[in-house]
Chains A and B, each alone.
Chain A
Amino acid sequence: MGLQAMTYLVVGLTFAIYIGIAIWARAGSTKDFYVAGGGVHPILNGMATGADWMSAASFISMAGLIANMGYGGGLFLMGWTGGYVLMACLLAPYLRKFGKFTVPSFVADRFYSNTAASVAVICLLTASITYIIGQMTGVGVAFSRFLGVSSEMGIYIGMAIVFMYAVFGGMKGITYTQVAQYIVLILAYTIPAIFISLQLTGNPLPQLGLGSNLSGADISLLARLDQVVTDLGFGKYTTSVPGSTLNMFVYTVSLMIGTAGLPHVIVRFFTVPSVAAARSSAGWALVFIAILYTTAPAVAAMAKLNLHATVNKAVMANGDMFAAENSLLYEERPDWMKRWEVTGLLKFTDKNNDGRIQYYNEKTTNTAVADKAAAAGWAGNELDVNADIIVLANPEIALLPNWVIALVAAGGLAAALSTAAGLLMAISAAVSHDLMKKIWFPSMTEKNELLAGKISMAVAIVISGWLGLNPPGFAAGTVALAFGIAASSLFPCLMLGIFNKKMNKEGAIAGMLAGLFVTLIYVFAHKGIFFIKGTEFLGLIGGANSFFGITPEAFGSIGALVNFGVAYAVSKFTPECPDHIQHMVEDVRTPRGSKLIGGAH
């Protein structure tokens, strides 16, 4: 069977499974629609959280970015796992005891204020929509390759499928569908990694293969990779840092606290039966996430080595990489390159007209490398590989069988769809339940509430799809911005709500607004107002990364500090938090007396 037919078959089969489960578990009441009845087993909930969590950014984009960034890419690995520790011991058990099933309704009760809830809805919408833009970019990449169309067309098709999927499912459908999606995506991620690890090192476990010697050589894979990339003028793989150590530090903080502040993940911990289960659920979720996250660095390093080995024969033979005959002849390029050229995400420009592909860092500051390249007649880097294609192309680069390539396409789509659906649920709950039902139209019927939820999902898909056509960065980078927004606005508010019983509504509102505001200013200055190209205003903030060299993706942790600081200062000068609220906070701190969440209020 040909690759295209095989891909259709595998993707079609997995979709049939998801749709089957969604129909079997179709949501009845609003409570079913949002939290699946509150009785999901911790291990199943862990898998579903894993699928929800591991988006197109984790599955498709992250390993590609790690391949580009090397050691510094570890900030994604740590940032997107370390947040679960915060979630487990700072938020999940307390929010579960509190017994509300959306973040804004916690804020409304804890800060005895509809204004605070409305501000929380704004923060939630800003973070979630930014997140979905990143998903749409990833969906576009996956569909464009899978259907052989341009990445724009891929985004349009992805929007249609995400819409049908999320609108007709609801949370219960989503919880069980996500268990199936987790299984598909984790198989799709690990199977090619095992194959490639075996090929390169003879060790079937990618986590160990990455630390092993190359087959038939007495040099470790990482040491060889370091040699190859430094010889070609790139930064040394095992030590290169993004910007500065300070930037890497705050970037990691931002991703971790953003994890703990993202509403679509928090809501997962309302669906477990007890406070104790909320704690262990976070652990199970992280176990299932860690399987992918510890494989990703192996995928990154091995794909990078394989990519260099494909375009330069000297990489594996340990020969002279600058010898003319070692560069790959464009006419002899492998089929996978031709397939990706169609999508526009892989490009070759023959700058020195020798018909061969030279792939190196033309901007290197290493003069020895620059001299060698010039002496060899290299006129600049000729291969442009979009980081977002690395994982999807990985099995093709390693020449694995067609069914593996097809499985990876199915896994990428599963990852993107499941996260987009989870985010859309959070958006729809915030708009229809927290804003419309509780604040604007309290007399709304349950039927109209569901309808409003579905309309808000559709609007969110159109906005994010449109912005996804001109994404502010690679999928993982865009998603990192969403984490920064959640980190600077929602996380401090939730933390203060639980750990500072004197925090009042004035402090919480001022803190959220200040954190969100400074973060958005910094991000929009770099990426354009609401990510619209051409509206950047870097001049006003004093140039790119002007705040101690911190990149906009990492700025969320600074926003969080501002949020905490402003909240404290304002709470000192405004009326104290009422007594009954302080008692409520004390009650939330002990597990006894937790109830299953009832009804839609």
Chain B
Amino acid sequence: MDKSGKAYWYAVLKLVGMILGVWFLAGYVFSILLAPALNNIHLGGYPLGFWFAHQGSIYIFVALIFIYAKLQGKLDEKFDVHEK
């Protein structure tokens, strides 16, 4: 396996790209751009688009950071650049 700094950085950018992809979906696509359409679906008493903007996106953000921290930690070990 290529363990060079370049390969590591490429893997980091890919991970960050995926995390920010979900971040964008939650915070901008579902909560703002598609909110009017999603409001036709209801989650209990919440219209879904409104729920994403006022609740759902925040839960997703919290989960994303922990997922990122976990995956990035694994990546560091795989490329043997973790802190000792």
Contact = CB atoms under 8 A, between A and B. Distances in A.
13 contacts: A73-B54, A74-B50, A85-B61, A89-B19, A210-B54, A213-B45, A221-B45, A222-B45, A239-B47, A276-B76, A280-B65, A282-B65, A586-B5
Nearest to A87: B65
Contact of A590 (B8, B45, B54, B84): B8
Given A85-B65, A276-B76, 18 more contacts: A71-B49, A71-B50, A78-B27, A78-B57, A81-B58, A85-B61, A86-B20, A86-B23, A93-B72, A220-B44, A239-B47, A274-B83, A283-B66, A283-B69, A297-B55, A590-B81, A591-B81, A591-B83
A211 B61 contact: no
B37 to A, nearest CB: 12
Contacts, number: 146
B5 to A, nearest CB: 6
Contacts of A86: 20, 23
Interface residues of B, number: 45
B53 A77 contact: yes
A249 B53 CA distance: 12
A272 to B, nearest CB: 12
A280 B66 contact: yes
Interface string A137-163: 000000000000000000000000000
A245 B33 contact: yes
A279 B32 contact: no
A589 B83 CA distance: 13
Interface of A is mostly: helix
Interface string A71-98: 1011101100110111011100100000
A140 B7 CA distance: 54
A287 B68 CA distance: 15
Given A78-B57, A280-B66, A591-B82, A252 B33 contact: no
Interface residues of A, number: 53
A290 B59 contact: yes
Contact of A85 (B39, B59, B64): B64
Interface centre among B12, B57, B62, B72 (most CB of A within 10 A): B62
Contacts of B84: 592
A286 B53 contact: no
Contact of A594 (B50, B59, B83): B83
